[in-house]
């Protein structure tokens, strides 16, 4: 399955390159270890192509893909609009075929090592009960080694179940002072399950970071959830998520020159994500923030 977050300057849209497939028949990996990930399977993989900005960076503008009201951020720039290609998401893959592990590969425009001094974070936000509110945020420090490890891996949850504020996903009319992701579930191997989440740099690609987490963490091998990746340098405060509830559009700024008074990026800078991606189910009802071609009809 492939998805593309692309833009035509006038109307920012999300395009699906291949239809959403099913994950209902997982294929067991012969060497799967329930306590440590192995290699990511290669069949039935979701592929999300994100907007990248290497061609417009010299003009200090994003090509597009930034929709503040939907929580779509295309801001791999500092506050002077200098380009940060090591957090510019290009391709993200998810595979659920292993009986024990869900694998995610996040590829950037440039090598992740380039941003070492900036201490970037990479990760995933997970909506595991399909209420349009995130339940968990996985973050991973980088750069790191090419062997699977739990060092620098954190899982946070939300104590008030109000991620997304008054209007989940959408920007609230007035800034919302919720708690965000404020509760630590796992950190560097410490938690109820010391082997819950691992991460590593790809052994074959310096632009790619890999994350593996247990199926049991997200409802089992046939679990249904929404997921979407994050890359962050500037705005790294998980208690301020979702950002479009805690900051107005004026405060957040914009990476797109044609958005006039909102340009350039301000409080919300140095972040990149994709639209929300369904996994293990066909979306129905009202689910804002999905990749456009997967938006369900209102019921």
pLDDT one-digit tens code per residue, 129-180: 999 999 999 999 999 999 999 999 999 999 999 999 999 999 999 888 889 9
pTM of structure: 0.89
Contact partners, residue 62, CB within 8 Å, separation at least 6: 51, 53, 56, 74, 75, 77, 255, 256
At 213-227, the pLDDT tens digits run 999 999 999 999 999
């Amino acid at each position: 399955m492939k998805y593309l977050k692309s833009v035509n300057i006038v109307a920012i849209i999300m395009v699906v390159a291949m239809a959403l497939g099913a994950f209902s028949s997982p294929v067991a990996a012969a060497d799967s270890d329930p306590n440590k990930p192995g290699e990511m399977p290669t069949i039935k993989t979701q592929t999300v192509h994100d907007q990248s900005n290497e061609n417009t960076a010299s003009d200090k503008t994003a090509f597009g893909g930034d929709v503040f009201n939907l929580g779509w951020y295309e801001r791999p720039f500092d506050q002077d609009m200098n380009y940060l290609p090591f957090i510019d998401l290009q391709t993200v893959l998810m595979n659920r075929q292993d009986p024990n592990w869900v694998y995610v590969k996040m590829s950037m425009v440039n090598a992740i090592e380039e941003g070492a001094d900036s201490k970037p974070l990479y990760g995933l936000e997970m909506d595991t009960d399909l209420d349009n509110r995130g339940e968990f945020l996985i973050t991973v420090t980088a750069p790191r080694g090419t062997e699977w490890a739990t060092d620098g891996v954190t899982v946070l949850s939300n104590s008030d179940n109000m991620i997304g504020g008054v209007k989940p996903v959408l920007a609230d009319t007035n800034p919302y002072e919720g708690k965000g992701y404020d509760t630590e579930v796992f950190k560097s191997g410490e938690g109820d399950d010391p082997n819950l989440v691992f991460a590593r740099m790809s052994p074959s690609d310096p632009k790619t970071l890999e994350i593996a987490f247990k199926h049991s963490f997200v409802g089992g091998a046939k679990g249904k959830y929404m997921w979407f990746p994050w890359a962050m340098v500037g705005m790294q405060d998980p208690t301020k998520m979702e950002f479009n509830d805690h900051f107005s559009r004026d405060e957040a700024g914009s990476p797109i020159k044609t958005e006039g008074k909102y340009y350039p990026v301000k409080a919300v800078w140095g972040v990149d994500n994709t639209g929300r991606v369904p996994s293990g189910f066909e979306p129905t009802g009202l689910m804002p923030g999905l990749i456009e071609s997967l938006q369900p009809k209102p019921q």
